[in-house]
Structure 1
């Protein structure tokens, strides 16, 4: 039974791994911004870029899942 779902388990594990990486990157950036005494505008730009990277990753996953379910990919 586990062999049937091995690809789904791998995909889910990889997605959780990427989510954890984004979390740790965010924590590291937060620490650097705090210790570097970065102005608020600069902090907003940094967080915007991080959010857009994460949103792109999520959008890629949704598009990939949509295409695979419709038989395109």
Structure 2
């Protein structure tokens, strides 16, 4: 059986400078590290967040809604 590549990877976090570097933004940080490794650049997306797609890989999404509202961004991306 061939492993499936995920279509969307979401890194949860909270918008705002006050959350930078806190545990609330660990999801953003993980995607930032992944993007840096593969030389990807996040751009503003129509999905209430920043997104990028790795060629042949999944979309990476960082919702810019507060964590409690991140479902709106994810729903729009799907």
Q: TM-score, normalised by structure 1?
A: 0.30
The structure with the largest strand share of the pair is 2
- Tell me: higher relative CO, structure 1 or 2? Use CA pairs within 8 A at least 6 residues apart: 2
The structure with the largest helix share of the pair is 1
Q: TM-score, normalised by structure 2?
A: 0.29
Report the structure number with the largest CA radius of gyration: 1
